[in-house]
Amino acid sequence: MMITIRILRNLKIEVNNKSKRLEPVLENIIQSLEPSRSKSTVDNYRTALRSFISFAGRDITTRRVDARTMEAYQRWLQQRGVCPNTSSCYMRSLRKLFHEADIQGCESLFKNVFTGNAKTEKRAISPQEISSLRHLKIRSFVRDLFLFSFFAMGMPFIDLAFLRKSQAQNGYITYCRHKTGQTIRLKIEPPMQEIINMYAREESPYLFPILTATEPRAAMHEYERQRHRYNRQLKHLAAKAGIPNLTSYVVRHTWASIARDLGADIPVIQKALGHQDIKTTQIYLSEVNDHRVYDTNAAVIAKIFPEMLESYSNFVATQQRK
């Protein structure tokens, strides 16, 4: 009799666990993994969870998730313009969380969705196309944000959104990349200061009016909405400028491509972009003088602003002294 009662009690607990709300279950898993994972990995987990909850709703339980749910989620991502590799990253993160949460049948949930790596197409645009954006006869906050991101050595949109006034001091911007935690320091060039002055708001702690929330969780939710909006508006801007490909990722590829074509060393470009992928790269990055990074960015900007040719001359002289 006692054995039967114990079996029934265990069965009841198992059923209750299966019907728990998914969001807090996976958030608890993320917190348990946080000490043993890198910041970028934990950020990926949380971004994937937020995205899935935006699709499925906050009341979805562990019991209601099945393979058809994940297929529908993949279609939802595609409809929102999320690229295959980003979608795949979300799926892999969710699969890991589901596995850690010991959700029954978690492997079969992902059998019909893409979790690999798709070959990415060339994302960079030309200096002439950047220049055409600059001379476009419209007043556009999105255009100015894109140009500022380019002038700021390909600053990612997430770092641009969270950039605070306190991080722009004495002619320099210093910030930590959300993805890697690496510190980036860059010189505020004249066209960057012009855009900063254009959108300065005394009442906000942020450098640009992208976010209003300051509490971290609320700010991240707002950022996700603004990122989707930004990419949608970039598509409209690209159509007006006659540019076939314009997304928040394009700006980093473009800056790096122009810097490379100008002859900048790979370690300089890696430090400017805040890459921190392998130990060898980090060794090289630590040896790169900041002024070489500043000169490289000035030279890239001079390709778009001919009036800054003096900065380009400084860059050439620096290259010749190496």
CATH of the domain at 169: 1.10.443.10
For position 273, what pLDDT does the model report? 72
Total count of domains within the chain: 2
Distance, CA of 245 to CA of 239 (rounded, Å): 9
- Whether 313 and 164 share a structural domain: yes
Same domain, 219 and 307: yes
173 in a structural domain:
yes
- Whether residues 18 and 49 share a domain: the answer is yes
The verdict on residue 221 lying in a domain is yes
On whether residue 187 sits in a domain, the answer given is yes
Q: Give domain status of residue 100, yes or no.
A: yes
CB 235 within 8 A of CB 246: yes
Last residue of a domain, one of 49, 74, 109: 109
Is residue 279 packed enough to be buried (19+ CB in 10 Å), middle (13-18) or exposed (0-12)? exposed
Give residue 70's pLDDT: 94
**Do 148 and 230 sit in the same domain of this protein?**
yes
Looking at the domain assignment, is residue 116 inside a domain?
no
Residues 53 and 143 in one domain: no
Q: Which CATH number is 84's domain given?
A: 1.10.150.130
The residue from 109, 135, 166 where one domain ends is: 109
- The domain in which residue 307 lies consists of 127-321
Q: Specify whether 87 is located in the same domain as 149.
A: no
> Do both 95 and 147 map to the same domain?
no
pLDDT confidence of residue 16: 45
Q: Do 209 and 104 share a structural domain?
A: no
Largest pairwise CA distance in the chain? 90
Q: What is the Cα 58 distance to its own chain's centre?
A: 24
The DSSP element (H or E) to which 172 belongs, if any, is strand 172-176
pLDDT at 311: 52
Each residue's pLDDT expressed in tens, for the chain with a length of 322 residues:
444 444 434 444 344 445 689 999 999 999 999 988 888 789 889 999 999 999 999 999 998 999 999 999 999 998 887 888 889 999 999 999 999 998 877 878 999 999 988 765 557 888 888 888 988 888 899 999 999 999 998 899 999 999 999 999 999 999 988 877 788 899 999 999 999 999 988 899 999 999 999 998 899 889 989 998 999 999 999 998 888 778 888 888 888 888 878 887 777 777 777 665 534 333 333 444 667 777 788 888 887 777 655 554 555 555 555 5
Do residues 77 and 170 share a domain? Answer: no
- Residues paired with 206 in a beta bridge: 164
Say if strands 172-176 and 183-187 run parallel, antiparallel, or are unpaired.
Answer: antiparallel
Give residue 271's pLDDT: 72
User: Does 57 map to a domain?
Assistant: yes
pLDDT of residue 122: 58
What are the contacts of 85-93 at 24+ separation with CB within 8 A?
85/117, 85/118, 85/120, 87/114, 88/114, 88/115, 88/116, 88/117, 88/118, 89/44, 89/48, 90/47, 90/48, 90/51, 90/52, 91/48, 91/115, 93/44, 93/45, 93/47, 93/48, 93/49
Beta strands in 100-146 (DSSP E): none
pLDDT at residue number 45 = 93
Query: Are 185 and 42 contained in the same domain?
Result: no
Buried b (16+ CB within 10 A) or exposed e, 125-146: beeebbebbbeeeeebebbbbb
Residues 61 and 18: their CA atoms lie apart, in Å, by 7
Position 242 in a domain: yes
Per-residue confidence (pLDDT) for residue 322, from 0 to 100: 52
Residue 115 lies in a domain: no
Q: At 82, which amino acid appears?
A: V
Same domain assignment for residues 88 and 230: no
Which of 45, 78, 109 corresponds to the end of one domain? 109
Domain co-membership, 98 together with 131:
no
Residue in the block written with tokens 């220049």:
131
